[in-house]
Structure 1
Amino acid sequence: MTNTNTDKYILATKDWLQQVVIGHNFCPFALKEFKHNRIRYQVIPEKKHAALLNALIQEYYHLDTHPSTETTLIIFPYGLNQFERFLNLLDHANDQLIQHDYEGVYQIASFHPDYCFANADIDDPANYTNRSPYPTLHLIREISLEHVLKKVKTPKAIPERNINHARALGLQAMQLMLQNCYQDNDNK
């Protein structure tokens, strides 16, 4: 994969993070790490399940040995376009977290262009709180998350606030925001 392709995926993901996630405060913790450039973006070009899982292990090792990297967004532009296949990888990734003794050290958040919450209508704007330009797994240091959550008055209210905000913005606005992450990079 050329650097241009890699750059394309990273730029779209950064735009999504800045415009959607941070711009609408879907993750109140993202701004600080984004501003301080402590987010690592990894593009994994492989398609095979085993290679994708191996990339996750390598990223855990990277985070272990690079404490200045707070979190990683692993972008999978190939092979996981089907949401069910992505969820299957997520299940295996969570199993792998336990098998490699990383449970309690890291946790995984998931984002996908076709993300749909269980029991939600596919056109529910709330799905866009987890829709990203490309299939993406977010590796989060649990200790950092616990530390940040202590500073939030009602952390359990965050998902409900996000759902209400996305629905208030509406489906078309949420769709347009995601589409703009691709288009903005076509002009760069």
Structure 2
Amino acid sequence: MITQHEPLVEQRVEAWLTQVVLGLNLCPFAHKPWRDGQVSIRVSAARSEDEALADLQAEITRLDDTGAQDLDTVLLVLPYLWPDFLDYNDFLDVAEEALEHLERADTYQLASFHPHYQFGGTAPDDAENLTNRAPYPILHVLRAASVAEAIARHPDTLDIPEHNIARVEGLSKAEVQRLFPWLS
């Protein structure tokens, strides 16, 4: 069931992607597929874990059926589920198990984003959590081959997390409010 809110959800995710992920250069690998139109933002109407898993499987099938030159990665946005980060985090294990069950764990990788994302060992308000905060829960389905290729081209992937933490720690309070309005 599609709702009238879904175009707004897609617009918010696209704004986050262009202003935060690309704008702050949090993922140096994202610029090329975005520029080349190889990124799909798929807003799910799922309201249960089973529906979310069905949507994940459908997106994996779509990636299987489409060449990377046309579709390299999918952001599966889950706006109606898991407002609590810990519940979403539990679902990530289920999603990874689904990749294994589909025999696609070597083909695809999942990255995760959530409005209240919190890395282990951090406090909720630690700036480094901003690197994985998005306006909605999102499963980012990446082609493992594309990730490996991007890593091979990047001079030092080990510096990316440190760069990202420094970048978000350097944001002013006004910049954080502008870039992450759902946190206010």
Match of 1:164, as an amino acid? A
- Partner letter of residue 99 of structure 1? H
1:9 aligned partner? 9
**Aligned: 1:39 with 2:39:** yes
TM-score (normalizing by structure 1): 0.91
Where has structure 1 moved over 3 Å in runs of 4 or more?
1-4
- Superposed CA deviations along residues 126-175 of structure 1, whole A, max 9, x for unmatched, are 11110001110100000011011111111111011101111122555324
SS at match of 1:73: strand
Shift of 1:88: 1.3
Aligned counterparts of 2:121 and 2:127: Cα–Cα separation in 1: 13
Coordinate RMSD, CA, aligned: 1.6
Displacement of 1:3 in angstroms is: 6.1
User: What SS is found at the alignment partner of 1:137?
Assistant: strand
**Which amino acid in 1 is paired with 2:29?**
F
Q: How many residues align?
A: 181
**Contact conserved, 1:41 with 1:73, CA < 8 A, in 2?**
yes
Equivalent position of 1:89 in the other structure: 91
Task: Tell me if the contact between 1:125 and 1:174 (Cα under 8 Å) persists in the aligned partners.
Answer: no
| TM-score, normalised with respect to structure 2 | 0.93
Q: Counterparts of 1:74-85 in structure 2 under 5 Å? A: 74-85=76-87
Alpha-carbon displacement from aligned partner over 1:12-61 (angstroms, at most 9, x marks no partner): 00000000000010000111111111111111112111111111111100
- Aligned residues: percent identity? 32
Q: Give the deviation of 1:63 after TM superposition.
A: 0.3
